[in-house]
Structure 1
Amino acid sequence: MLLKYKNFFSVLGLWIFFGCIIGITVGSATTFLLEANDYLGDDIRLKRDWLIFLLPFGGIIIGYIYMNYGKVFLNNALNDTAQLNNLVIEAVHGKNEVPRRMGPIVYLGTFITVLFGGSTGREGAAVQMGGSVAATVHKIFKVSKFDNKILLMSGISAGFGSAFGAPITGAVFGMEMTALGKLKFEALVPCLTASFSGHYVTTAAWGHKHEEFILQTVPEKSIITFLTVILLSVVFSLISIFYCQLRHGIQNFSEKFFKKNHMKRAFFGGIIIVVLTMIVGSQDYNGRGLQMLEQSFHEEVPPFAFLAKLIFTAVTLGSGFVGGEAIPLFFIGATLGNALHEFIDLPMSFLSALGLIAVFCGGANTPIAAFLLAMEMFDGKGLEYFFVACLVSYLFSGHHGLWPSQKIHEPKSRLYSIPRGETMEDVEKKKKS
């Protein structure tokens, strides 16, 4: 019995140790990412509109980096860092490995994208840095292949938790992101440790202040309000499908048309973004768009802002630029909710918050993490509405999502005739055939 408890506390201590190392490292790296993005996006790009014309050439640089330095042979298999978050997910499932250079490469690519006005976010870079750090810990401490999967989940948790100031969400996101219908609770301790460590390093040690989205008013509970929330959540889920399909459609077309030449793809994608920017007549939809995102919670924004951001982001990431997709999804959902305020008699900030969470949930296929994000982001207000919105958006978004490598451990409903064990990509291919 004594030996049993000794082994238990030995393993527990080891996971806490690994979680702390990953969290501290990723938290520090994420702080650098956030501060650099703020400086490049706000202090440099917004004051120099002409930088947008250099975006196509920035795409050439990104393409060159990924084509010449992003492909690594590990264990006699090619691991392409241009797969971005999909490579991290495949590594968790044991199909591939995350090269240690993945984090620095995606950071450099994200900085170039933000500086020249590509429409992108940041969690992708943070998650991939988390995977890169986890791979380094695996290499140094020589943990088993099975335990390496848990380290990778911890890296994902640390990246997300520190990037958004949401440590509880980050802990669950690391376990929920990789597969539908399955949570590996064995990874809870290292994921929780890594996420909280990363969060406190970012905020307390380095003093970074995250954006705040203020939910001013929550409507009174009523059957009519709940029915309205359900209907809106269906709409938000359909928007998430539209974004994912457009983004992947652009990627597949550009890869086929340019024969997977990353430099050409990104160059022409950059030209399209420049043309779209000139047509729109402003740079509100370039970069991260945090200013309009925050604005949507307290005053009206252009009614078709959500559609413009959707197109800008789909072209940016679909043509080979890099970054994250959570912030763009936040923007799309919040501004759509803001636009619907004209027709629905519910508080503006509530509709924006509902859209932000529901569109993210539908795209990421992480209902528990999305609900926890609403609780952390909006101080626990309106939990009943957000819980319903996450469930509805998750179910109605079907088997579509941001990451084709997500594995379907369990279909969302028996109404979907989807076999277990396949990936989102497999399902899409079967539909087309």
Structure 2
Amino acid sequence: MKIFPSSEYKQIIRYSLYWLVASIVIGLISGLASTLIFTCFDLATKVRIAYPWLIFFLPFVGLGIGFLFYRYGTPIERGTHLLIDEIHEPRAFIPKRMSPLIFFTAILTQFFGGSAGREAPAVQLSGALTDHIAQLLRVSKDNRKIFLISSIGSGFSAIFGLPLAGAIYGLEITALGSLRYSAVFPCFVSSIVAASVPEFFHILHPHRFYKIASFPEFNLSVILSLIVAGLIFGLVTRFFIVAIHTVGDLFAKYVTFMPFRPMLGGIIIMLLTLLVGHQHYNGLGIPTIIASFQVPLPMTDFINKTVFTAITLGSGFKGGEITPLFFVGTTLGNGLSQFLPLPLSLLAGLGLVSLFAGASKAPLTSIVLAIELFGTSVSIYAVITCLLAYLFSGNCGLYRIHKPDYSEYK
């Protein structure tokens, strides 16, 4: 056997060059798309806060969004699931209308007071644009799958400014129990490139303000507290996901005409906003997420945000679940600090990553996310709560991916 066989290294060099160029292109597309989403959401939030009466137009906007997806939505309304399905069961290229529809409807949801995140529009826009490029370049079926995996990871990376978590996210949520190692190199390169694009435009990601003030000495009391927290995080994750699915099922069952679903959802969100007397639960809720690392907040915040998000997304408005999930996780952790002997900021941070672990069914991504957000000191704490939340959230998740199977333990 030759030490350095020339034919093998020619293949390695060709593979590396091909995917280096392709990954840079995917990263730039995802980075620019996410920068656009981030900027527009930021502007929409500022305008909505300045003019709170915009909430009264949410039902009319819902009617318009419902009609657009009634007329043009198939199969676009499946969102991120469509990208994942095209990786495992490819049928056709992503419809070109997905890009403008997802972009404008997500911005409108945010502008008029719906409770939804920006990560799903960023990932979906990145995936749709990347698939258009793959179609133009006539890439092979296998390479197209890697293009889509990389676009999901790089979209996540760019919108949150977290390249390592983004790369592993793209690999893990598309794995379906079998990690595609051929996508590792493209996913990491595209995620690193994508994360650098918002920085070039001086985008300041909110996570820079997520600070854990202190880490307690590891002892039996701390371990037991972490176990209790992890169990609660898992159960609340399940409540969050079931709430969204249940509301969606109820709207589909009792409101047969699709355009009327988000219109009714908009009316309910408008009335709830008037009832609580503020808009802390509308939109992204970034100020509350930041505050949950610093000062005690009402224990009911996580429940209220779950309700607002479930009605928004369940009725048919567009946006992501992850940023609202971060809100629910940090405020839940903040509330648990009243009962558990752990620092408030630590529980807020663990709530953020643990609910993500349970909802995304991506525990490895969540642990890397914790380290990338809070440093290596959080690792052992995050491992305990993330794995428990992953297990005790059960077999329901945000995506159609590999989930824990407990059937043999009946």
TM over 0.5: yes
* Residues 94 and 149 in structure 1, CA contact (< 8 A), matched pair in contact too: no
Q: Does 1:314 align with 2:310?
A: yes
**Residue equivalent to 1:407:** 401
**Residue equivalent to 2:39:** 35
Given the two structures, how large is their TM-score scaled by the length of structure 2? 0.95
For 1:234 and 1:273, locate their aligned partners in 2 and report how far apart those are by CA, in whole Å.
30
Of 390-399 and 109-118, the range deviating more from structure 2: 390-399
Q: Does 1:416 align with 2:410?
A: no
Q: Does 1:8 align with 2:5?
A: no
Q: Which amino acid aligns with 2:249?
A: N
CA deviation map 1:65-105 (0-9, x unaligned): 2222333xxxxxxxx10111111111111244422332221
Identity %: 36
* Residues 120 and 328 in structure 1, CA contact (< 8 A), matched pair in contact too: yes
The alpha carbon displacement at 1:133 in A equals 1.9
For 1:231 and 1:190, locate their aligned partners in 2 and report how far apart those are by CA, in whole Å.
39
1:172 to 165, 168, 171: 168
Alignment of 1:62-77 (within 5 A): 62-71=65-74
For 2:43 and 2:272, locate their aligned partners in 1 and report how far apart those are by CA, in whole Å.
24
When residues 96 and 233 of structure 1 are mapped into structure 2, their CA distance, relative to the original with a 3 A threshold, is farther
Q: RMSD between aligned alpha carbons?
A: 1.4
**Residue equivalent to 1:54:** 57
Alignment of 1:290-301 (within 5 A): 290-301=286-297
CA deviation map 1:322-376 (0-9, x unaligned): 1111110100010011111111121110010111111111011110111111111
* Residues 134 and 154 in structure 1, CA contact (< 8 A), matched pair in contact too: no
Q: Does 1:100 align with 2:96?
A: yes
For 2:96 and 2:6, locate their aligned partners in 1 and report how far apart those are by CA, in whole Å.
39
For 1:374 and 1:96, locate their aligned partners in 2 and report how far apart those are by CA, in whole Å.
36
Unmatched runs of 5 consecutive residues or more in structure 2: none
**Residue equivalent to 2:372:** 376
For 1:101 and 1:22, locate their aligned partners in 2 and report how far apart those are by CA, in whole Å.
19
For 1:181 and 1:232, locate their aligned partners in 2 and report how far apart those are by CA, in whole Å.
27
**Residue equivalent to 1:225:** 222
User: Across the two proteins, how many residue pairs are aligned to each other?
Assistant: 402
SS of the residue aligned with 1:297?
Answer: coil
* Residues 171 and 183 in structure 2, CA contact (< 8 A), matched pair in contact too: yes
Q: Does 1:206 align with 2:201?
A: yes
For 2:183 and 2:330, locate their aligned partners in 1 and report how far apart those are by CA, in whole Å.
32
* Residues 26 and 130 in structure 2, CA contact (< 8 A), matched pair in contact too: yes
* Residues 29 and 130 in structure 2, CA contact (< 8 A), matched pair in contact too: no
Alignment of 1:262-411 (within 5 A): 262-403=258-399, 406-408=400-402
For 1:288 and 1:347, locate their aligned partners in 2 and report how far apart those are by CA, in whole Å.
25
The alpha carbon displacement at 1:391 in A equals 1.3
When residues 180 and 224 of structure 1 are mapped into structure 2, their CA distance, relative to the original with a 3 A threshold, is farther
**Residue equivalent to 2:250:** 253
* Residues 361 and 390 in structure 1, CA contact (< 8 A), matched pair in contact too: yes
SS of the residue aligned with 2:407?
Answer: coil
Alignment of 1:147-186 (within 5 A): 147-186=143-182
**Residue equivalent to 1:17:** 21
Unmatched runs of 5 consecutive residues or more in structure 1: 72-79, 419-433
* Residues 158 and 198 in structure 2, CA contact (< 8 A), matched pair in contact too: yes
For 2:349 and 2:289, locate their aligned partners in 1 and report how far apart those are by CA, in whole Å.
10
When residues 182 and 227 of structure 1 are mapped into structure 2, their CA distance, relative to the original with a 3 A threshold, is farther
* Residues 40 and 111 in structure 1, CA contact (< 8 A), matched pair in contact too: yes
CA deviation map 1:108-152 (0-9, x unaligned): 111100000000111100110121022112111111112211110
For 2:148 and 2:223, locate their aligned partners in 1 and report how far apart those are by CA, in whole Å.
38
